[in-house]
Amino acid sequence: MLGRISWISIGIALAIAVLFPPLSGMSFHVLNVAIIMLIFILFSSAWNFLAYSGQASLGHAAFFGIGGYISTILARSAGYASFATILVGGCVAAFVGFLLGLTCVRLKEWFLAMVTFGFAVILQVVVATTLSETTGGWDGMISPRLIPISVDNYLVIEYYVILAATIVSIVAIYLIIRSRAGLAFAAIRENEVEAQAAGINPVSWKLIAFTISSFLAGISGALMVHHIGFISPEVFSAENSFWPVIYSIFGGLGTISGPIIGTTILTIVWDGLKELGLTYERFIIIGLLLIIVVIFLPRGLVSLPEKIRERRAQRKKE
């Protein structure tokens, strides 16, 4: 299953993640960036899990936002955010994902991309206008903090809570992918007709993947809004749909470590470029990186060591 090198790198990554707050000198800004990064690791992993079954969504912000809105509305009436509100947010996102999935699982790549993208656009309008009495319309509304600001070191506690949620979710994804279900997903992704011939029902398996992925996206959205303390229809923006795609491709499509590595490195690059005072150039650089990775490193950064080894072997032969 996992080689020794993998275990060592997982151990190092975990150690860094756990020791990060004291190492960062408890800086408010750095912790904030790290928390948002963790949430996006979870969100990207949810997107990437769907891609593992061969489905690429361009509208995952829809589920991210549903999780955020449901949890916020519940938390506002209860007076505080809790695991229960976040879980309900995730479950509602999963249910909506299931309903949308009923249509999506029969669609081919671009059609699926279009429907998911369009769904997020429609949802944004519905939440901002039709449901404005409950959602606060375009102005949005305050979302109770995950950990109230009055608590000592609330940001550090928030960091550990979100770290735990992210780790649990990634382990769950890992276990699913390693199970028989994972084999079914991979078979469908590689060749749907052959998978069907082998007795796998592509429609129901793809629907399961869609539901699980929506659930996790909903959880990450709920964590995000309770961290920021605010939610508005902007949560459904295309930007929020595209980031998990970019992070996952950059790290490695269809791998567990891909979204983790992709999100971490791009967050560092993104923040570093911001420190340099770049604005539009940041987006240009990210866009170029994306194009370069898709053309030259289609399996993402995780395949880089392998690629270098291949190159070396080739050179030796010559």
Q: At 15, which amino acid appears? A: A
- Tell me which residue has tokens 């992993």: 45
The one-letter amino acid code at 201 reads: N
- Residues in contact with other proteins, shown as a per-residue x/- string from 248 to 267 under the rule CB under 8 A: -x---x--------------
**Using rule CB under 8 A, residue 108 touches other proteins:** yes
Interface segment toward other proteins; rule CB under 8 A; list 71-79, 90-98, 104-112, 190-198? 104-112
Question: What CA–CA distance (Å, rounded) separates 282 from 115?
Answer: 29
Distance CA 145, CA 75 (A): 9
Q: Is 191 in the site for other proteins (CB under 8 A)?
A: no
Q: Which of 7, 80, 83, 110 is in the footprint of other proteins by CB under 8 A?
A: 110
**β-pair partners for 230:** 142
2 alpha carbon, distance to own chain's centre? 23
Is the CA virtual torsion 107, 108, 113, 114 positive or negative? Answer: negative
- Nearest distance in Å: CB 288, other proteins: 6
Q: Find the part of the chain contacting other proteins (CB under 8 A) among 21-29, 30-38, 162-170, 240-248.
A: 240-248
Task: By CB under 8 A, tell whether 236 contacts other proteins.
Answer: no
Position among 7, 80, 83, 283 found at the interface with other proteins (CB under 8 A): 283
d(CA 165, CA 148): 18
Please tell me whether residue 198 binds other proteins under the rule CB under 8 A.
no
* DSSP code of residue 234: G
Sign of the torsion angle spanned by Cα atoms 191, 197, 203, 208: negative
Binding interface with other proteins (CB under 8 A): 51, 56, 58, 103, 106-111, 113-115, 117-119, 121-122, 124-126, 128-129, 238, 242, 245-246, 249, 253, 280-284, 286-291, 294-295, 298
